[in-house]
A and B are shown apart, each in its own frame.
Chain A
């Protein structure tokens, strides 16, 4: 055992450890080479698809990010500038790009196609593929409504994953409005609604059943509220959805019908998909790979967000977490 030298000097041959903040990491050349090959491929696909790369500052004013309603991914790191204004490290790139589009492309003719490769910061519990500082590669397609815009975004997503050589991935596609419509249809409001959504967000179907049971709805309605969010699979899961939920289902069918076959075959309809970001309005999606226990990335439609910055335009976008994509690629390679 080595005993710390009070002068701070380490014994010969033993490195002095200078810690870095929890949840951050250094990247050394072997890993960096592999990450670079992934990001270079992604940027190549973005470029070929007409998505111009942009950069925004890592720091934004807190008020700016707050417009994005980032409740699901609250900024974890705040600091003050010399005037006492609160700055935050961005928790994703979508809100900064919404700001950028409204400000710098105020009069540009839509649609706008933008891409990025940038670090984002969240106060998460560090675990596999989950750092507090993580690298995102993604696109934002602004001014292209559903379903065509969604179809284009999903197609570029598959293009990137195919180009980097991921083979076994699937894309889960859901709609944030679908379950809300079911709750509307059953007249579930206020506190009861919050409790039910909480069970859904925390992935607790036992709790969902308990909360739905406590509502005293008819057997059919209760069964619907418990069964639908557990549905995932082919287009057959969209059957039997009436009313407003039927509209959301119709929207998902519309996206599916327009997808090129190579993209469509990757798709899983996932009616329980809940993404934590508050700005999503319609279709949402997540990328899964059997080689990794957590999603590699995801995105969705945010048709209201640009309006909050003064340039109301429908939009869709997604981001892949590069470190997770790297782990999945390595895992697929090892399993081959």
Chain B
């Protein structure tokens, strides 16, 4: 069945459980599961994209609702979207980590007055250091953040971790937990008013599922 809404669905780590949730409320996701190259599934009102693009589509109204991680929403906090529901799955922790042993971040802060931090989450990292009153220089990287402290590019990293395995395998330890992120249901502010019935019905079924 169709919800009458356009739903932005994140590809990647959140995809499976997002589709499970949609199955649970009666949306047929078999075509999405069978097709990992196709992006638009008009019959069931699903568009698939990177998690970090979900707020962009929803804010502009190209999708009425969407599912993405709280980490994405925190990093894009200026987006004008409604956050409707904590879906609970996809639990990850935003952490500050550095190489095991003596903490190079402390050493850098003490001797150089500033620590260098690599991250994909520039805003979350900057807010965290502002809030805790430490001077940090943020180095934005696109690929594997774990590499940066191993090569001496930075003293530590701010990154999202689910199990901590990748950190451990690269000899990194968690120094601080910044925030817990789970999958969230978001809505476009105009769709939230004009398609209130459809959105509330979907919300109800998701809560009940």
Contacts and interface: CB of A to CB of B under 8 A. Distances in A.
Interface of A: 125, 127-128, 170, 172, 202-207, 232-233, 268, 270, 288-290, 292-295
Contact of A203 (B60, B62, B83, B190): B83
Nearest to B57: A293
B83 A290 contact: no
Contacts of B192: 232
Contacts of B82: 203-205
Contact of A232 (B61, B184, B196): B196
Given A128-B60, A293-B59, A270 B193 contact: yes
Contacts, number: 56
A15 to B, nearest CB: 30
A-B complex: 8 closest residue pairs judged by Cβ atoms = A293-B61, A204-B83, A203-B82, A288-B190, A206-B86, A293-B60, A206-B83, A232-B196
A interface, by DSSP: helix, strand, loop or mixed? mixed
B106 interface: no
B198 interface: no
B61 A233 contact: no
Contact of A206 (B61, B77, B84, B194): B84
Interface residues of B, number: 23
A96 B188 CA distance: 32
A203 B184 CA distance: 13
A203 B80 contact: yes
Given A203-B189, A294-B190, A295-B189, 8 more contacts: A127-B59, A127-B60, A203-B83, A205-B84, A206-B85, A292-B190, A293-B60, A294-B80
Interface in B52-104: 59-62, 77-78, 80-86
23 contacts: A125-B78, A127-B60, A128-B60, A172-B193, A203-B82, A205-B82, A205-B84, A206-B85, A206-B86, A232-B196, A268-B193, A268-B196, A288-B190, A288-B193, A289-B190, A290-B194, A293-B61, A293-B189, A293-B190, A293-B191, A294-B189, A294-B190, A295-B190
